[in-house]
Amino acid sequence: MIPILFASYGTVFVAEIVGDKLLYTTGLLSARYRAAPILLGMTAAFMLKMAAAVAVGKAISELPPLFVATLTGASFIGVAIVLWLKPVGRPESKREEAATSKAAMVSFAAIFFSEWGDVGQITAASLTARFGAPLIVWVGAVAAMATKGALATSIGAGVRTWITDKVSPQMARNVGVALLLLLAILSVMETVTRGHG
C-alpha cells in the first residue's frame, strides 16, 4: 500500500505542477488573504474533487470540455467579483480575523469550481482503476494537491508582503481582478481552441 501512496502522490504532484492555472489562482488569493484560511478552503476543495475523481474514475475525463471551461471561467469571474467588492485599504488584524471564514470559502469555491477533469483528477482516476485502491490513491492525490497549494500560497504570501509595502491596495486589487478575468478568458479560449484543433 505504501508504494501506491507514494506513486499517487508523486504522479499527481508532477502532473499538476506543470502549467497549472490553479497555481496562479492560489497565488492571487494569497496576495489578498492570509495563508491559513486559504489552505483550509483549498484542502477541503481538493479532498472533494479527488474523492469525485477516484469514485467516478475515467468518466471525469469525458465531461464536455465547453461545460468544464464555462465552469472554470465562471469560477475565476466569481473570485474576481468578490475581490473587486472587498473594501480597499490596509487590513487591520481584527478585520483579517473576521474575514477568515470568508477567505476559506472564497478559496474553496475558486478551487472546487474550476478545472474539473484536469490532469490531476484524470491521473487519480487512472491510478484508482489501475491499482484498485481508491482510499490510498485519494490520500496520495490530496496530499500532492495540498503540497502544490501550500507552495503557491507561500510564494503568494511573499508577494503579498512585497505588494503591501510597495503597491497601493487599489492597484493590487485592480491587477488581481484583471488577472482573474484573464484566466477566465484563457480557460474558455483553450477549450475552444482544443475543440477546433
Domain ranges of the chain: 2-196
- Interaxial angle between packed helices 119-131 and 35-56, expressed in degrees from 0 to 180 and rounded to the nearest 10: 50
Residue 141 has what pLDDT?
92
Higher pLDDT, 47 or 35: 47
Q: Is the pLDDT reported for residue 82 higher than 60?
A: yes
Residue 40 has what pLDDT?
92
Side-chain half-sphere of 182: how many Cα atoms within 13 Å?
A: 10
Side-chain half-sphere of 25: how many Cα atoms within 13 Å?
A: 33
For 21, the 3-state DSSP assignment is helix
For 117, the 3-state DSSP assignment is coil
Length of the chain: 197
Mean pLDDT of 79-91: 67
Higher pLDDT, 155 or 159: 155
- The mean of the pLDDT values for the chain is 75
Among residues of the chain, what percentage have pLDDT more than 90?
11
Higher pLDDT, 88 or 168: 168
Residue 138 has what pLDDT?
93
